[in-house]
Amino acid sequence: MSTSLATEPLLELRGVNKSFGPVHVLHDVDFRVHAGQVTSLIGDNGAGKSTLVKSIAGIHPIDSGEIRYEGEDVVIRGPRDAAELGIEFVYQDLSLCENLDVVQNMFLGRERLRRGLLDKSSMEQAARDTLATLGVRTVKSVRQPIRSLSGGQRQTVAIARAVLWNSRIVVLDEPTAALGVAQTEQVLALVRRLADQGLGVVLVSHNMNDVMSVSDRVSAMYLGRMAADIEVTASTTKEQLVGLITSGQRAGSPTTDTHGDDT
Amino acid sequence: MHEETAVADFGLDTTPRSLADVARDAIARFRGGDLGPVPALLAIVTLVAVFGLANPSTFLSVGNFANLLEQASAVIVIAMAVSFSLLLGEIDLAAGFTAGVAAAVMATRLQDGWDLPSAVLLSAVVAVALGMFTGFMVAKVGIPSFVVTLANFLIFQGILLLLVKEGGTVGIDSELIRDMVGANLSPTQSWIFVVVALVLFAAFELRAQRASHGAVPMSLVGMKVAGTTAVAVVATLLLNENRALARANIEIKGMPVVVPLVLLLLVSITFVLDNTRAGRHLYAVGGNAEAARRAGIRVDRIKLSAFTACGLLAGVGGYFLASQINSVSATTGANDTLLLAVGAAVIGGTSLFGGKGRMINAALGGLVLALIDNGLPLVGKRSVFWLVEVDFSSSGVKAIAAGLALLVAASVDALSRKSAN
Ligand SMILES: Nc1ncnc2c1ncn2[C@@H]1O[C@H](COP(=O)(O)OP(=O)(O)OP(=O)(O)O)[C@@H](O)[C@H]1O
Ligand SMILES: [Mg+2]
């Protein structure tokens, strides 16, 4: 309880509203991301998770409300604004070029130059260093094309790319949705490690097992509103989280168990 | 999973590998469907063997060898132009006519008394403008390139007709243009060129080897350099023989000028594509345009630039076309050239689906098509399986052979893409 309240959140959204034409999707949403913590964002289909994430990304700028970054008011109008603040995104449908190799993907759009030409060896070294500090063991060569990697390895590369830029916050939209058991574990371990290294991590997920295993906090959305923002403790149960998703209430007992694990 | 000090080893990047390891990787890649230029190389060897057996005296003569290289040059350059569109995952069906229009602009300007640099400059500007027009229609308006370039096919053909007048021919009276395709280096110049090129090639390979920390074994570099040297030396020895007809009282020998010209284009474009941001982004857009967009790449700009480069390079191909017959007519760049250029890139191993391919593919594919074009007539009339008499020198057979080669290459491309997913 006391730990997260003592430190100021790295990113804080207050009273955020967002409409698409007549459709009011986000209603006075409050949301906090703390450095060194994994904050999971849960909620039923259509609850507004992706919309919230995209408004942080600048893809859907907010209509009203405020965004504070390190205690200061900021305006995020486009993806570049978010990148400049040090917020990186790993989208659900991977944003990798299969024909390019690991290094080329990690530096895509931000290639290092030396005398006007691509500085391949420095990029290769940096890519290797980043993967090594993340403790990634599954990628044997950074010169492999993405085409030859497994789903988990690809997700690893996508995440490593996000942290290559001295980013402070990494937002992952369902990073394990398409992965098998072993690969899910690897990716979750990596997600945990990012937070342990001091980054603020936001994890959007439908899988309550994943959420329970890596999260410090859980923010639950219900019909476009923030229904709860709780700390994950030893006494937190899966049933509580499912209750938040299905009814927006902190129910003591599970009402139904058909929703939580739909991935 | 929770090893605290887990550190990546990147075994494949840092441990030296043997030739056997590399061979195993290559076989694995083949199995995965990534054939690269191998089918084209096999086709070249096969065609040379078949035509050589069918008509050794003519096909394997030095004169025919030089002839073949000159025939292939224009198609190769235009195929390199088309490769820019293919790398995007788009296509340019009108590149042949872009070449024709550029050649016609140059020829008519020369005819009007312009000096060569001005005529070439104007034609290059026109080629760039045509490429930009295509790029604008594809990238900004959003029409599929297939449709845009089909329309351009008609429009550019119309422009060409207007320039050369119906049925007309514009002769070119410029020594420099005439010499592009047709002139030869002296035997000494040929050797100097070959030696310099080989030294540069070896230097580049060695540098790449050093940068690979042993992942590329030294023995592989040795084999590559030795093989290339052998081919280059044999070719130069042959080309330095006198290939004039026995009764002629002049000597024709030395390497055709087109060889260094095409090689220079090939190497410099490859270098740009491999070592600049724009080149990298071209491959990225072709591989996954949405991923490129999210990475902050201006996809429409890359498309526009790629089609512009395609136009310019096709224009350069037009000079080769004009040089082959020292004139420009309504059929310059039409028919054969047009389709062969698109085919050459694909036959060489450049993917129709974008993001995969190199300039060398265009050169190899161009050689395959030139071999078919050059070799079939020498086979003459034969009975096939003792059943039907086929005249292999007819243009019907030629067209069918080139079309089949393209279909085979496109099938390899499509199937390898399937097996990769
Ligand atoms: N661009 C848009 N235009 C109009 N409505 C939209 C748009 N994007 C999202 N919405 C609506 O906003 C609501 C919230 O969608 P959102 O994608 O944020 O949900 P989600 O919580 O991410 O759901 P899921 O778990 O299915 O990914 C939905 O009702 C959706 O129809
Ligand atoms: Mg969503």
Name the pLDDT band for A258 (thresholds 50, 70, 90): very low
Domain annotation covers residue A175: yes
The pLDDT value recorded for residue A116 is: 93
Residue B296 to residue A110, Cβ atoms within 8 A: yes
What CATH number has the domain bearing residue A54? 3.40.50.300
> Would you say how long chain B is, in residues?
421
Q: What is the pLDDT of residues B371-419, one digit of tens each?
A: 998 888 888 887 777 778 888 888 888 888 888 888 988 888 888 877 6
- Tell me the C-alpha distance between B203 and B267, whole Å: 14
Q: What atom in ligand 1 is closest to the CA of residue A51? A: 18
The pLDDT value recorded for residue A256 is: 40
Domain annotation covers residue A137: no
Average confidence (pLDDT) over B173-179: 87
The count of domains in chain A is: 1
List, in order, residues 6 or more apart from A139 with CB less than 8 Å away.
Answer: A102, A131, A149, A153, A156, A157, B8, B10
User: What residues does A106 pair with on adjacent strands?
Assistant: none
Question: Nearest CA to CA, how far is B234 from chain A (Å)?
Answer: 35
ipTM, two decimals, is: 0.87
- Tell me the C-alpha distance between B364 and B368, whole Å: 6
- Tell me the C-alpha distance between B261 and A28, whole Å: 67
Name the pLDDT band for A6 (thresholds 50, 70, 90): low
Rg, chain B, Cα only: 23
The pLDDT value recorded for residue B9 is: 58
Rg, chain A, Cα only: 19
Which of B274, B275, B296 shows the shortest C-beta gap to A109? B296
Backbone angles phi, psi at A74, to 5 degrees: -130, 160
- Tell me the C-alpha distance between A7 and A200, whole Å: 13
- Tell me the C-alpha distance between A141 and A128, whole Å: 9
The pLDDT value recorded for residue B7 is: 46
Helix (H) or strand (E) holding B261: helix B258-275
- Tell me the C-alpha distance between A34 and A229, whole Å: 12
Segments making up each domain of chain B, as ranges: 71-183+256-366
Residue nearest to atom 30 of ligand 1 (CA): A46
Smallest CA–CA distance from B3 into chain A, residue:
A135
Smallest CA–CA distance from B13 into chain A, residue:
A141
Which of A97, A124, A131 shows the shortest C-beta gap to B291? A97
Q: Is B155 helix (H, G, I), strand (E, B) or coil?
A: helix
Domain annotation covers residue A160: no
pTM: 0.87
- Tell me the C-alpha distance between A38 and A31, whole Å: 13
Name the pLDDT band for A117 (thresholds 50, 70, 90): very high
Which of A99, A118, A148 shows the shortest C-beta gap to B287? A99
Residue A139 to residue B8, Cβ atoms within 8 A: yes
DSSP per residue, B30-49: HHTT--TTHHHHHHHHHHHH
Name the pLDDT band for B6 (thresholds 50, 70, 90): very low
Structural domain boundaries enclosing A218: 11-86+168-247
Name the pLDDT band for B165 (thresholds 50, 70, 90): confident
List, in order, residues 6 or more apart from B341 with CB less than 8 Å away.
Answer: B75, B78, B79, B81, B82, B95, B96, B317, B366
The pLDDT value recorded for residue A253 is: 42
CB distance from B250 to chain A under 8 Å?
no
Question: Nearest CA to CA, how far is B137 from chain A (Å)?
Answer: 25
Average confidence (pLDDT) over B110-114: 92
Domain annotation covers residue A159: no
Q: Is B409 helix (H, G, I), strand (E, B) or coil?
A: helix
Q: What is the pLDDT of residues A171-191, one digit of tens each?
A: 998 888 878 888 888 889 989
Residue A100 to residue B287, Cβ atoms within 8 A: yes
B354: region left, alpha or beta (phi > 0 left; psi from -120 to 50 alpha): left
Domain annotation covers residue A226: yes
